[in-house]
Amino acid sequence: MIRKSKTLLCAVAAVLMLLPVGQEVMAQTSTAVPFMLISPSSRNSAMGEAGVAIADDVSAIFWNPAGLGFQKGMELSLNHSNWLPQFQQSDLFFEYAAYKMDVPSTGGTLGAALTFLNLGEFERRDEGNNPLGTFKSFEIAFTTAYGTRIDEDFGIGLGLKIIHSSLSTVGTAREQGSGTATAVAGDIGVLYRPSKLVLPFSDKDIGDRLSIGASITNIGPSLSYIDEDQSDPLPTALRLGFAYDIVHERYNTLTWTTDVTKLLVSRSDENSRKADPFYEAFINSWDTPGNVFNTFTLGTGFEYWYSQLVGLRFGFFHEDPSQGNRRFLTFGAGVRYDIYGFDFSYISTAISDDDTPSPLSETLRFTLTVNWNRAGGPEDDGTRIPADDAAN
């Protein structure tokens, strides 16, 4: 028997807050290790959780590995968030560290990232309610990624990750096994960032202003804690998006970006909780009751930069009520000085229809970056932020 000592409700919520909450939907699309869907970057989080088409910094490892192909130099990013702050639990937190470096001999850029979600401490008791000790629950993943450009405008990327979930060190009641499991998964992405693109019936060139991206992440077999019949699918996610520089001047840049995301997860057998294999879910997940577009989440936002020093961000995230009804506004800012950068983001659920405060409300994320190539101007490392001596 496992009993809560500090954060049982928070740990459960940490899982459920990333999933649809309707009973019918949960039966179809609930997944294991949903922490793999948490946005690790304060910058993207502040733009409505959108990033598949921007992908111009080390966070491309998470959003779209193809973005690495457009980047040069070395960059380190450290990210922290006290997860679900409404529960006021100091041992419920999310960490993400990432590093990328271009390797000319490979024709592209390599990246690596470590994702960690701490769920807190639990107390184990026997059937007579006698304490048997405590244990800690956590989930962790290590990702490697590679991106390269096929030509000047088109990039592709791949990622490989190992995911470990340790929810419990022992089985519950008479179940065999334990609450630990390990899985291997992959990512794939494409990114189109044209250097020249003239609009039809117009002389306007929007090259170097537009990017279009797509990725499928967390592709792999289901994760099993107890046995195969009780296995849960990985949160395989399809992301499609664009980013466009509405303003691209010497000292001012305003970018609009939008992502739509869909879980490629399905359960065809209504009499079994076992999920379809991921290769079948690629097709079956589109066969849903009602409007298939309701199964997509929408994230959209804006980023403004003055020169290459100060950035302001605003965004909106929407999920259909039938899929969970997460709706919130996002805000954030960033500063750059020499090779260093600092960003933060904030979630407000004030627009939610639910009178009950969301555990996601008032979530803060913090990101510290070190970009060793930035001293030569952001244009040198593939970011969309214009350098003073290079912007149009």
Beta bridge partners of 216: 188, 238
Flag whether pLDDT at 380 surpasses 80.
no
Angle 69-261-34 (CA atoms, 0-180°, nearest 5)?
A: 95
Structural domain contains residue 389: no
CATH number of the domain at 322, please. Answer: 2.40.160.40
pLDDT at position 24 is 34
Structural domain contains residue 286: yes
pLDDT at position 386 is 47
Structural domain contains residue 386: no
Tell me the pLDDT tens digit for each residue of 237-280: 999 999 999 998 889 999 999 999 999 998 877 666 678 888 88
Task: Quote the number of domains for the chain.
Answer: 1
Structural domain contains residue 290: yes
Q: Which two tokens stand for residue 233?
A: 């699918």
Structural domain contains residue 388: no
DSSP codes, 93-153: EEEEEEEEEEEGGGTEEEEEEEEEEEEEEEEEE-TT--EEEEEEEEEEEEEEEEEEESSSS
Enclosing domain of residue 60: 2-381
Separation between Cα atoms, residue 240 and residue 42, nearest integer Å? 20
Structural domain contains residue 197: yes
Question: Residue 353, exposed/middle/buried by CB under 10 A (0-12, 13-18, 19+)?
Answer: exposed
- Tell me the average pLDDT across 328-353: 90
Total Cβ atoms within 10 A of residue 169 = 15
- Tell me the average pLDDT across 326-350: 92
Q: Give the rounded percent of residues in the chain with a pLDDT score beyond 70.
A: 81
Structural domain contains residue 387: no
Q: How far is CA 86 from CA 23, 116, 363, in A?
A: 24, 20, 8
Flag whether pLDDT at 292 surpasses 70.
yes
Separation between Cα atoms, residue 1 and residue 271, nearest integer Å? 28
- Tell me the average pLDDT across 143-170: 93
Look up residue 214 and give its amino acid: A
Structural domain contains residue 390: no
Separation between Cα atoms, residue 264 and residue 266, nearest integer Å? 7
Separation between Cα atoms, residue 12 and residue 19, nearest integer Å? 11
Tell me the pLDDT tens digit for each residue of 21-47: 333 333 345 888 999 999 999 999 999
Q: Cβ distance 98 to 367 under 8 Å?
A: no
